[in-house]
Amino acid sequence: MNLFYTLMPLLSGIFWGTSGTFVRTMADEHWDNMTILYGRMLTAVIMLLILILIVDRKLLRFRLKDLWIFLLGGAVFTLGLNAFYQETILRLTLSLAAVLLGMSPVFVLFAARIFFHEPITKAKVGSMFLAIFGCVMVSGVLENGSAGNVTPLNILIGIASAFCYGMQVISMRIASNRGYHPLTTTFYSLLSVAIVTFPLANHRAILTYTAAAPVPHWAFLFLQALCVSVLPFLLYNIALSRVESGKASILASAGEPSAATVFGMLIYHEIPSILSLLGLAVVIIALALLCRPERKAGTAD
């Protein structure tokens, strides 16, 4: 597994780990869930369209019979991932929301086995459980609890975000297997989300926010779209051309809460506990096990 492609889903997880900060900031501006999602997707689509027009306009082409892939991956699973995860962030702590989202490799491993015949190896299963356990340690949930609001409904919403995340990975892999460029897959998936959320968004709130301070507020929206949508989706799509779906999902899920801890330490001067540091070490061990060179055929797994 090429190290360059291996790092891509890990970087995707790191970028996705910034979403909590953006969501909380926009919620403070009285943007509801659908408005936050629409604003991010619309901005991301504009950025991707400009990029495609610069790189190669032919990337806008797709076969009509494959439209369902973009609709399923975008309007259903990408929408579900973002909507459920944003709702989880607003209902629970950021750390617990990240841990619940980190359950996505469970769904990906089994779905990839069914649809793509990817083997479920001991290395994958062991790395997955190590990564999830490490993420729980990093999150601080074991030390601080989950700060109230832990109801079956809220936990179910968090698990729903993980399921949608996993199925989104599967849809991206289908598009990759059919020869679509990562820019094409990302553009149409996010465009379908923008179209679906358009009638549900509070457009007055968007206009009020951008009119109040056009330059900094538009810059914030573009930064949000770049970090939470454009870069992670592109990196993940590119990685799926060389990395198995199950491995990619484990790498990405390990990167998110770990990155949040590091960002908190560097930006907000939040000193991680001993348990959090041990959790980071566990995550690193899990990733090292996952990224070991494949054994030759005929050897034990």
**Residues 76-86 pLDDT 10s:** 998 998 889 88
Q: Calculate helix-pair angle for 79-91, 94-101, nearest 10 degrees.
A: 150
Higher-confidence residue of 114 and 45: namely 45
Please check whether residue 299 lies inside any domain of the structure.
no
Q: Which two tokens stand for residue 255?
A: 């990167």
Higher-confidence residue of 6 and 181: namely 181
Rounded to whole angstroms, the Cα distance separating 59 from 49 reads 10
Please check whether residue 297 lies inside any domain of the structure.
no
- Measured between its terminal Cα atoms, the distance across the chain in Å is 16
Q: What is the pLDDT of residues 205-214, one digit of tens each?
A: 999 999 999 9
Q: What is the pLDDT of residues 133-155, one digit of tens each?
A: 877 776 666 666 555 566 788 88
Please check whether residue 295 lies inside any domain of the structure.
no
Quick one: three-class SS letters along 282-299?
HHHHHHHHHCCCCCCCCC
Please check whether residue 185 lies inside any domain of the structure.
yes
Rounded to whole angstroms, the Cα distance separating 124 from 135 reads 16
Please check whether residue 13 lies inside any domain of the structure.
yes
Rounded to whole angstroms, the Cα distance separating 194 from 35 reads 10
Rounded to whole angstroms, the Cα distance separating 39 from 26 reads 10
Instruction: State the residue range of the domain holding 37.
Output: 3-290
- Please check the confidence at residue 267 and state whether its pLDDT lies above 80: no
What predicted TM-score, i.e. pTM, was given to this entire model? 0.79
Query: Total domain count for the chain?
Result: 1
